[in-house]
Amino acid sequence: MEPAPSALDTAGAAVGGSEWIKDHIRDIPDFPKPGVVYKDITPLLSDPRAFAGTVDALAAGVPGGRIDKVVGIEARGFILAAPVALRLGAGFVPVRKTGKLPGAVTSQSYELEYRSDVLEIHTDALEIGERVLIVDDVLATGGTAVATAALIRSLGAEVVGVACVIELAFLGGRGKLGDLDAVALISY
């Protein structure tokens, strides 16, 4: 097993595939339903060097220019997006499922691999013209990322890209992102 780089080691690391990340992801067969192999990032998060290296690699893969806010998608996206925001000197904004945010929100429905759902963001979370990066753990069918981008744009902000740890390329999610730049550290 190749050791995870330290946080400092990853500053110049190439984004797009590191075996040390794959070594920290476990397969859970038949979850959440029979026939699905779930990619569990819990071992990655529990190893401080691997977690720090992943955060640094996500931050290093951001398209050029300033980032004002990093949006994390419930729930594993929160875990990754908050430290990426700190690395980039940006604010963090959560996007949550219906009924989880207090105050005024705007909503967007979307399709997942297994069901449909609704995401929400506070109406005052972003300012017009802010540059926003979306961070999540997995890019699968693209529905969650597309819905999040729609929420961000509805508030007048600009989506500069999507960054995730894992891309399930066989599900074709990248193709649904349109002109959005997407960075995945590893792909299956």
Q: Strand pairing of 37-40 and 182-187?
A: unpaired
> What does the pLDDT look like over 90-137, one tens digit per residue?
999 999 999 999 999 999 998 776 678 999 999 999 999 999 999 999
CA 103 vs CA 18, 38, 81, 122, 150: distances in Å: 41, 34, 22, 7, 20
Single pTM value for the model:
0.89
Rounded to an integer, the average pLDDT of 9-30 is: 71
Amino acid at 76: R
Report pLDDT for 4: 52
Report pLDDT for 65: 85
Find the angle CA(169)-CA(177)-CA(137) to the nearest 5 degrees.
55
> Is position 113 annotated as part of the catalytic site?
yes
Rounded to an integer, the average pLDDT of 166-175 is: 95
- Which of 49, 74, 111, 113 is flagged as catalytic? 113
Q: For residues 165 and 77, what is the distance between their CA atoms, to the nearest angstrom?
A: 10
The backbone torsions φ and ψ at residue 173, rounded to the nearest 5 degrees and listed phi first, read: -60, -35
> Is position 131 annotated as part of the catalytic site?
no
Residues forming beta bridges with residue 134, ordered by sequence position: 71, 162
Gyration radius of the chain over CA positions? 16
1 has a pLDDT exceeding 90: no
Q: For residues 8 and 14, what is the distance between their CA atoms, to the nearest angstrom?
A: 13
Domain positions in the chain are 14-187
> What does the pLDDT look like over 28-44, one tens digit per residue?
999 988 999 999 999 99
15 has a pLDDT exceeding 50: no
**14-187: what CATH class?**
alpha beta
CA 110 vs CA 37, 55, 79, 97, 118: distances in Å: 22, 27, 22, 11, 6
- Which of 76, 87, 96, 131 is flagged as catalytic? 76
